[in-house]
Every structure is written in C-alpha cells, then in structure tokens.
Copies of this chain bind each other. A is one copy, B any other.
Amino acid sequence: MVSVLEERNFPVETLRLFASGRSEGNLIPFRGSPVRIERLTPDSFSRDIDLLFLSAGTAISREYAPIAAKLGIFVVDNSSCWRMEEAVPLVVPEVNSDALRLEKKIIANPNCSTIQMVCALYPLHLRARIKRIIVSTYQAVSGAGQKAIVELESQIKDLAEGNPVKPVVFPHQIAHNLIPQIDVFLENGYTKEEMKMVNETRKIMGDDSLMITATCVRVPVYIGHSEVVTVDFSEKISAAEATEILKSAPGISVIDDPDRSLYPLPILAAGRDEVFVGRIRKDLSCENGISFWVVSDNLRKGAALNAVQIGESLLQKKYLSCDGF
C-alpha cells in the first residue's frame, strides 16, 4: 500500500502508519524517509486526517472504520466487513466510481478475485448486457498472506528433501496440489470467497439480476490470480468485438495471440498494475456467449492498487481537497 502510494505520486502531505503494539516503532520507508509505525488505539485518529486506508482484517475494520468516519475521515477498507452494507459504496474505480458520495465516509475495497473479473466484464456488460457468469478461479497463495507464501516455499523444500509436510495456513498440502476451498464453507455448499464473487459483482455492476456461479480454487502459484470466465449476453456480441472493447477499456491489457502462444500468465502479471485478458473467444455452448482468461496481480489491482485508486477517485471528485492533483 505504501509503495503504491509512492509509485503513483499520491499527493500525501503527511503519512502516518498504524499497527498493533507488536510493530510499534518499526520504520517503513516512504519517499526516501523512514516513517515510524504508531500503535493503533481508539484515540489514534484526529480531524486533520483526510483519508485512512484500513487493511488489518474484519475485526479491526468493524471497530475502527466508524471511529474514523465519525471524525469526517474517508476510510477505504480492504476487509470484507463493510462490503455488503447497503450504505457503503463498494468501488472498482473503472466501473462504479459514481457510487462514491461525499457523505459516505466508509468505502469498501472489493474482494481480489472480484475486482479483476468486473474490470473485464463491465465494458462488455455496457455493450451487450450480461445475463449469466460462470467463473472458475486459479488463485495464488499470496491471497492468504505472507505466511501462506512461506508455507508454499517450505512445503516445496520439504517435499524435495523427503520430509513430511505440515499444512498450517491451508487445510491441505498446497505444494504440487490444488485446494478447491478458499475461506470457509457456507450452508449452500459454496465458500465465502465464492459468494463474495457472486454478491460483490452484482453490487459493483449495479445489477441484482445477474446470474453468477463461482468455484474458487487455490493453486501453487505465488502471485497472480487467474480466472476462466464464461459469459452469456442478452445481445449478440462477437469475440472480435469483445476484444476491441476490452482493448480500449480502462485498466485492461489484452494479450491474445494464440499463434505465438501469447496469453496472460500469472508470472508476467505479478508486479504489474493491469488486468490482463486473453483467450477471448466465442463460447461454443451458448448462442450469445464469450469465454476468456483473466489474470491480475492479486496484491496490486486485487488489493492495494484498487484502494489507492479509490483515493484518487475521491480527489478527482474533489471530496478530498489537495493542491495540484
């Protein structure tokens, strides 16, 4: 988050960093100077803060977002805590920055898998109205945090050395394996992650009639979520037209040259800001269907970047005042 603010020249006058007591006093570099981490308490915030990025899990978000909002601070929250609250805008700037309101201080940053999918779907929806979405995900371990990255690394090492593998972060071995479970299961047999993709997509695209089903699978990849998306449209749309639309869509980069084996790959998306789309083709099973493959860096567009872009939208709308943005 701090790197993204710096990279994008976000007009930060003063950066303050808060964390638990464990990290208090640690230094994080920002624009060449170290910033000392303060301990987060209910009295941490003051009215002179304009914008707060919250990324510390749902419990912290539930407690601290209202404290900041009451002080008039805009809060961009990365957790799932506020996303489905009716009064809270759930924003992907390329899609629905118009959901932002001066008086709605808490703004939710969507689920990582959802963000990259709606970036690709929304421009197509505007042209041919989507009826149904079927998505299968291939999600990188970094979506489960730094500990999950270490778990994959150490499992690969343990297996190479013939040592037993002890899953901690994931419910099963993830090295050389796949786990068709992300987050916990709900009553209807879907995981929370899958239902986030269903419900958040409807909210961001502003269309509760969208029929959506999702299967979310963890794969032994470090960074970059990938998705197979199959879409039924109300109106006829060719793969060629869909490709042209996506080529000029904000935040999207089309990589689609099968003859040269060019299509999006997680290792190439890692560290990049774009949502990469390829394998755009007619769905053979449906009259007005299109299928594609979408890959993006889950830590950037799927998290920190989208949050900072929400901040940029607040600046563009002059909800945040700042010289020279």
Show the binding face of A for B, using Cβ within 8 Å.
132-134, 136, 138, 156-157, 160, 171-173, 176-181, 185, 188-190, 198, 211-213, 215, 217, 219-222, 226, 228, 230, 239, 258-259, 261, 263-267, 278-286, 289, 291, 293
Contacts and interface: CB of A to CB of B under 8 A. Distances in A.
B180 A279 contact: yes
Contacts of A278: 180
Contacts of A266: 176-178
Contacts of A176: 220-222, 266-267
Contacts of A221: 176-178, 220
Given A173-B267, A179-B265, A185-B259, A217 B138 contact: yes
Given A138-B178, A189-B279, A213 B284 contact: yes
> For the complex formed by this chain, how many copies does it contain in all?
2
B134 A281 contact: no
Given A156-B156, A171-B261, A219-B219, 6 more contacts: A134-B285, A157-B160, A179-B265, A211-B285, A211-B286, A215-B291
A141 to B, nearest CB: 10
A307 to B, nearest CB: 26
20 contacts: A132-B286, A134-B283, A136-B215, A136-B228, A138-B178, A138-B219, A171-B261, A172-B265, A172-B267, A177-B265, A178-B265, A180-B226, A180-B228, A180-B279, A189-B258, A189-B280, A190-B284, A198-B284, A213-B283, A219-B219
B138 A189 contact: no
